[in-house]
Amino acid sequence: MSDRPGTSFFSPRRAGIIALSTVTQLVRMKVFYFLAPIALLFVGLQFFDVFWYEGPEASQPQQELMMHKNLCLGTMMLFSSLFAIVSTALLIPGDIEDRTLYTILCKPVPRLDYLVGKLLGVISVIFVAMLVMDILMVVTLHYRTQAVSAELGEYLGAIGWGEEEVRQGQAEVVSHGPSLILQYGVLAHFFKASIIAAVALLISTFSTSTLFTIASSVMIWIIGAVQSLAREGLFTKGEYGVEPGMVDRILGTIISLVFPDFQLFESVSDGAARVMEIGVFDMLHLGGLTFFYIAIYTVLSWFVFSDKEF
Amino acid sequence: MSEVPAVQVNRLVKDFKGSFRGGGIRAVDEVSLSIAPGEVYGLIGPNGSGKSTTMKAVLGLVKPTAGSCAIFGRDSSKVDSRMEVGFLPENPYFYKHLSAAETVSFYGKLCGMRGAALKARVNEMLELVGLEEARHRRLRGFSKGMLQRIGLAQALVQDPRLVVLDEPTAGVDPTGSRQIRDLILDLKGRGITVFLCSHLLEQVQEICDRVGIIHRGKMVNEGNLEELTSMHDRTEIILQDAPPELLEQIRNLVDQANKGELVSEGHPRSSLESLFLKETIEAESKQKAASTK
């Protein structure tokens, strides 16, 4: 028998090596070039007035900042979700087509290490991309907040408001500027993109084409976004007071178990843009849910991938 | 205690399922083989005969329908067994975004190597395959022969006791092919077991100790190359600078003995490969000499 030591069931170090290689691969594929138009968009927002915002005399000047935040968060959500799907869908089938996977799996690399490494690599790149977008958003929002606050101060002073009242008005505007709660919104989108990457990973383990993986992942993304509405329709009494049947209930349960509920993440992001109260425990709950979904999809991917023949 | 074989394949069967309408195929049918440590074993056969599937089963890339494969006594479906194996697939592709040194280092890290030991091993491997000068070049611009050599470097990085080579010289020019052949002979000299399959029978004959011939999934012949290829009822005598009179005497001797028969005589031929290598190397050295003048 061989005298070399055995290979553990899962090695975080080996998964880390594969993750790092995935990050290098994506970086050298120049995926971060996509950040350039996003940066231009964020900077461009500085010079864009809301059509309903008619200057500081308007009753809610913070609308200007809300629009800025909504557009930035929306762009981040779209970019991170699409990036998660496309990059994950390209990586594993690419390795199979190029036979790179042969040489990796012929080394003492458990298949779980490979899957976790690929997923961590994609999630790391999403994290860095979102961090860059977040910094851009915070910087541009800061200057926008300063401008709107100054404009409001000048206007209120001109119409004869007292110093204290002006300060209160400006404080209300500043509260809609960069804040910790806004970071929760960004984090919610990062969590969501990570789950979408895990979904795409699962599909790519049994899919025969990149196109199928992308199309199916987009479909799950859409189902995840509307599933809470569907569940509401199936589990609650209808307009005419009709109780949902057994089939409806089973279907609803399956949908809620199989597809992630992205509405939760959207509500956090929406609440963050509106400066609503979001606690640390809410975020911990969301983080736990994200971990749960990622773990489930990764284990399922492993089940499929461990028996795959090449 | 008897020595554990480097590779042990016992009555391996591999069926591939067909489409909905049936039509499954038996790619490997009750194949058994055993490779001793330090041996160079060649598996030969026509396209679709089951060579690659047998290799993939040995590497754990496909699951046997029946039978078993083991590497140095360890079940080859277990990840542990791969610590002992280096594999070079046919027409290998690696991450094109990595340089030669990064590629070898990546595979070394996957085998648990790190730090100064890994760095030294990467240098050693690049030197072994003659790619030190290309160490910082990305694989995107590598020729087929260079890719094959970097493939060998990654296969050997963890110092395996067994190297599995699937068509190691496919698509490589004669010079590159000769270099790979020399590398395999070097591995043999270092006591590394080599299991290869190739269509280039001349090369297989040059380097293998034993061969197995597989056809339609079945092992049709297997054994020591010398035994399989020698014609026991014939004898070859090669003479250097023999004058015509001596040749005449030999012919007369055979005639007088009235035992045996002179079947043919003539000048032995060198292979086309040797001629090609001689001409290209001569041309290159002439060019070098001219450029230094």
Domains defined along chain B, listed by start:
7-229 (3.40.50.300), 236-293 (no CATH)
Is residue A254, in this structure, part of any structural domain at all? Answer: yes
**What residues of B are in contact with residue A14 (Cβ under 8 Å)?**
109-110, 112
Best A103, A113, A115, A118 residue to mutate vs chain B (most B CBs within 10 Å): A103
CA A301 – CA B37 distance, rounded (Å): 37
In a domain, A87, yes or no: yes
Instruction: Tell me how many domains chain A contains.
Output: 1
Instruction: For residue B74, give the nearest of A2, A106, A107 by CB distance.
Output: A2
Identify the residue whose tokens are 């809609």: A176
What's the confidence (pLDDT) of residue B19? 65
A107 closest CB neighbour out of B82, B98, B164: B82
The pLDDT value given to residue B200? 78
Q: Cβ separation of A7 and B107 shorter than 8 Å? A: no
User: B79 and A109: CB-CB below 8 Å?
Assistant: yes
Rg (CA), chain A: 24
Q: State the Cα–Cα distance between residues A114 and A103, nearest whole angstrom.
A: 12
d(CA A258, CA A254): 6
Residue in chain A nearest B4 by alpha carbon: A1
Integer CA distances (angstroms), A229 to A26, A70, A232, A255, A264, in order: 36, 22, 5, 12, 12
pLDDT at position B103 is 95
Q: What is the rounded CA–CA span in Å between residue B280 and residue B290?
A: 15
Task: Please tell me the total number of residues recorded for chain A in this structure.
Answer: 310
CA distance B125 to B116: 14
Global pTM reads: 0.83
The answer to whether residue A3 sits within a structural domain is no
Counting as low any pLDDT under 50, the low residues of chain B are 1
CB-CB under 8 Å, A99 with B110:
no
Cβ contacts from A onto B, under 8 A: 94
Looking at residue B123, its pLDDT comes to 95
The verdict on a CB contact (< 8 Å) between B87 and A106 is yes
Mutate to test the interface with A, among B110, B147, B193 (most CBs of A within 10 A): B110
Q: How many CB atoms lie within 10 A of CB A217?
A: 26
Q: Is residue A5 part of a domain?
A: no
Q: How far is B162 from chain A (nearest CA, A)?
A: 12
Note the residue count of chain B. Answer: 293
The answer to whether residue A6 sits within a structural domain is no
* Angstrom distance (rounded) from CA B83 to CA B214: 28
Under DSSP, the state recorded for B138 is B
Q: Is residue A1 part of a domain?
A: no
Closest-CA distance, B96 to chain A, in angstroms, reads 9
In the three-class reduction of DSSP (H, G, I as helix; E, B as strand; rest coil), residue B91 is classed as: coil
Name the residue range of residue A188's domain: 12-306
- What pLDDT tens digit does each residue of chain A (310 aa) get? 445 555 677 888 999 999 999 999 888 887 778 778 887 787 777 666 654 455 555 557 778 888 889 889 999 999 899 999 999 988 888 888 888 888 999 999 999 999 999 999 999 999 999 999 999 999 999 998 998 888 888 888 888 888 888 888 889 889 888 999 999 999 999 999 999 999 999 999 988 788 898 999 999 998 888 877 776 766 665 555 566 677 777 777 777 777 888 888 988 988 888 888 888 899 999 999 999 999 999 999 999 998 888 7
Alpha helices in chain B (DSSP H): 51-59, 100-110, 115-128, 144-156, 174-189, 201-207, 225-229, 244-257, 272-292
Nearest to A17 by CA among B97, B110, B157, B86: B110
CA distance A153 to A145: 12
How close A26 comes to chain B (CA, Å)?
Answer: 9
Cross-chain residue pair B85–A106, CB shorter than 8 Å: yes
- Residues of chain B whose beta carbon is less than 8 angstroms from a beta carbon of chain A are 4, 56, 59-63, 71-74, 79-87, 89, 91-95, 97-98, 106-107, 109-112, 151, 154-155, 158, 161, 164
| Residue among A24, A99, A307 whose CB faces B89 most closely | A99
Nearest to B197, CA basis, from B24, B56, B5, B96: B56
Compute the distance between CA of residue B221 and CA of residue B3 in angstroms, rounded to an integer: 24
Residues paired with residue B185 on neighbouring β-strands, in sequence order: none
